Structure 1
Amino acid sequence: MVDATHISFTADDRSYFSLIKKEIHRMATEGGIGVARTNELDLIVAEMTSNLFKYSNDGELLVGVFANGGEPYVELISIDNGPGMVNPARMMQDGMSTTNTLGHGLGSMKRLSDTFELYSQPGWGTIVLSRVYNRQPPTGIKPSVVIRPIVVYKPGEKTSGDGFAFKKTEKYFKLMLADGLGHGPEANIAVNEAANAFRVFPDFSPTETIRFIHTNIKKTRGAVISVVGYDLERKMWTSAGVGNIAARFFNNTNLKNQMSYNGIVGHNIPNTMNDQQYAADEYNHLMLCSDGIKTRIDMARYPMIYKYDPTILASAIYKDHARRTDDMSVVIAKVK
């Protein structure tokens, strides 16, 4: 089922922290994480919530559990608008503290995590990423593509009207971001029907994929959709979109926005649509955003962020541009 990839927890009330830890523990256990790793996850959550309370303004913890092809993991993303750090690497050393504590927090989180990254700017805030796998993943393997989604449902809802889907063959990978009309369960049904059609359509073309989805979701509310494929041999992006899903192709110097067609998939789409292509040697990153993310994004605000896991960039976009009155989605894909 397609739904939110992450659940958001606020971290401004210390009395709430034990409930946050219990809920994340439950999510991890139900997601297939074993007892030993879940206990370590509890320690990471305790340190993250404590740091958010001590140092941040408007602290938020995003938590996602991913099946990962039978090798599940939990992703924790700590986001704050606090004072930030001048020297993050130094602050991760044991014994470093600005509040007269033992100063073991960041160091212990890093030791307990299979993936750990920290991005911070003075006066902007800090993002901490931790992933805990049920079994330690193999090292030294660098995939040809890394895709990192953040989908969070509208506050007050229990399911997301945005949905992300992905498929891969030996020749290409293809992904879809859809935003069902409205919010809540009916919008979620629309994006799930779209995801089902997306997965079974056998061809590569994003335009033809959207046409196929269109014929299969006519009994739903409909959705705005962007589909992007990447040819692994030709190293070429191909995309098409209907409605206000923003698609941007970029690297640290170049940027190109996809031009989407007007319409609503499932209700009315143009008779004439064409695939758009972009070479990966010019644009090795893709960003997809629903209208829950404001699109006036200045990448220069995030110096050195390209050297981090793409989740850090997705989290920075979410931190600065999320509209809290809507479902919120941002997907970053990076190719070699």
Structure 2
Amino acid sequence: MGTVSPVAGGHTIEGEDVVWLRVGAALEAVARREAARLAHRVGLSAQRIAEVELAVTEAATNLQRHAQDGSLALRVVTLPDRAAVELLSLDSGPGIPDLSRVLADGVSSRGTLGVGLGAIARCADTFDMHSLPGRGTVLLARFWSRRAEDADGAAEPAVAGLTRPISGETVCGDSWAARTEAGPDGQVVTAMMCDGLGHGPLAALASERARAAFRTHAQRSPLDIMRALHEELKGTRGAAVTVARADFARGTVESCGVGNVSGCVVSGGKRSALLSLPGIVGHHRQPSRSFQTPLDPDGVLVLHTDGLSDRWSPHDFPGLFGRRPATIAAQILGQAGVRRDDAGIVVVRPAAP
């Protein structure tokens, strides 16, 4: 998730800076401080800030005590009528065989009180978990500035993205943006995933230019958006980009891709790849055509850069594609991401639980 800006007939959501914190000796203290900073930024009350700090501390403690390796990701989520602090906890094992049991207060796998996960679930406005026994767990907790029942037309976001810079860098060359709009028969989401060539500040500059162009042209077709991106990225390193429009009522994804950003529709345990043409946006090949892919009502659209291995299968993630978009994005990034490159993923799924 990230910042939001109005577009006629809809709104755009853009990837925002993510604070990544690896497991380490001072994880609890650093995470609590960063979470409080973000909570103040979105205007949470003193009580809500205390609840955010509690949840982040519990999540950090769980990682320190139980995970083989892991990270916390903290960021701001913004919708037209409200904002939130979002916490994602990712680890690489050992996983949790029975999530319902560990969410019950008083249960622990190592003799501790076991109140941590239950406390997070009670404090958060949005809470979600997915675990792969033996492989890793993702926890999502979101704290809104306005409760859902108080927000005007508030709904769970249909799209979420997540980026992580290559080890040793503070900025990420991968970025994403999305536009949501209410169509005559249901929600339509147009998403962009951009991989600026290389990594570091120059790759990030190309991605920032791509987001700005998407923001201006988001209401147009994927092919027209890509042509606008191609013009905007001239003079930069260039990028690999895929733009895809998911219309769940009509049952189609229209996409236009140049370069090695992977795109697919996941449905019924199968993965249907989106076609992409070779080239570099801003340098080689003017985008020339778009493609149509069927989309079932329960389908999930996934776009990701080559900072994630493309060898994953929906069967590797039992139960994941019924979860919230942010949970799906975090689990795939956690399991398929590589630290020797920037990594970015965006997921579209309107029918969240």
In the superposition, the TM-score normalised over structure 2's length comes to: 0.87
Q: Count the aligned residue pairs.
A: 334
Aligned with 1:89 (options 69, 77, 100): 100
Aligned with 1:152 (options 164, 167, 172): 164
Aligned with 1:316 (options 331, 334, 351): 331
Aligned with 1:234 (options 250, 255, 258): 250
Q: In 2, Cα distance between the equivalents of 1:175 and 1:108? A: 34
Q: 1:217 is matched with which residue?
A: 233
Aligned with 1:71 (options 59, 62, 82): 82
Distance 1:183 1:20, change over 3 A: same
Per-residue displacement from partner, 1:251-299 (whole Å, max 9, x unpaired)? 123321112111111111146x221112222772111011111110121
Question: Is the counterpart of residue 192 in structure 1 residue 208 in structure 2?
Answer: yes
Most deviating of 195-204 and 256-265: 195-204
Q: In 1, Cα distance between the equivalents of 2:218 and 2:105? A: 52
Per-residue displacement from partner, 1:19-50 (whole Å, max 9, x unpaired)? 22112211222233332211110000111111
Most deviating of 35-44 and 203-212: 203-212
Per-residue displacement from partner, 1:205-230 (whole Å, max 9, x unpaired)? 21221112111221222111100113
Alignment RMSD: 2.4
Distance 1:250 1:143, change over 3 A: farther
Q: In 2, Cα distance between the equivalents of 1:233 and 1:48? A: 38
The one-letter amino acid of 1:227's match is: V
Q: 2:341 is matched with which residue?
A: 326
The question of whether the paired residues in 2 share the 8 Å contact of 1:261 and 1:270 is answered with no
Runs of 5+ unmatched residues, structure 2: 4-13
Q: 2:11 is matched with which residue?
A: none
Q: 2:261 is matched with which residue?
A: 245
Question: Is the counterpart of residue 268 in structure 1 residue 284 in structure 2?
Answer: yes
Post-superposition shift, 1:131?
0.9
Aligned with 1:32 (options 18, 36, 43): 43
Question: Is the counterpart of residue 9 in structure 1 residue 21 in structure 2?
Answer: yes
Post-superposition shift, 1:86?
2.1
Q: In 1, Cα distance between the equivalents of 2:132 and 2:335? A: 13
Q: 2:32 is matched with which residue?
A: 21
**SS of the residue aligned with 1:208?**
helix
Runs of 5+ unmatched residues, structure 1: none
The one-letter amino acid of 2:252's match is: M
The one-letter amino acid of 2:236's match is: T
The one-letter amino acid of 2:266's match is: F
Post-superposition shift, 1:203?
5.2
The one-letter amino acid of 2:254's match is: T
Q: In 2, Cα distance between the equivalents of 1:232 and 1:301? A: 25
Q: In 2, Cα distance between the equivalents of 1:16 and 1:92? A: 22
Q: 1:306 is matched with which residue?
A: 321
Q: In 1, Cα distance between the equivalents of 2:155 and 2:299? A: 14
Q: In 1, Cα distance between the equivalents of 2:47 and 2:36? A: 12
Distance 1:150 1:203, change over 3 A: closer
Moved over 6 A (4+): 139-142
Q: In 1, Cα distance between the equivalents of 2:180 and 2:232? A: 21
Q: % of aligned pairs identical?
A: 31
Q: 2:271 is matched with which residue?
A: 255
The question of whether the paired residues in 2 share the 8 Å contact of 1:174 and 1:204 is answered with no
Q: In 1, Cα distance between the equivalents of 2:62 and 2:313? A: 28
The question of whether the paired residues in 2 share the 8 Å contact of 1:190 and 1:217 is answered with yes
Post-superposition shift, 1:316?
1.5
The one-letter amino acid of 2:302's match is: M
Distance 1:194 1:98, change over 3 A: closer
Question: Is the counterpart of residue 289 in structure 1 residue 304 in structure 2?
Answer: yes
The question of whether the paired residues in 2 share the 8 Å contact of 1:65 and 1:75 is answered with yes
Per-residue displacement from partner, 1:42-76 (whole Å, max 9, x unpaired)? 00011111111111111211112112224111111
Post-superposition shift, 1:144?
9.5
The one-letter amino acid of 2:336's match is: H
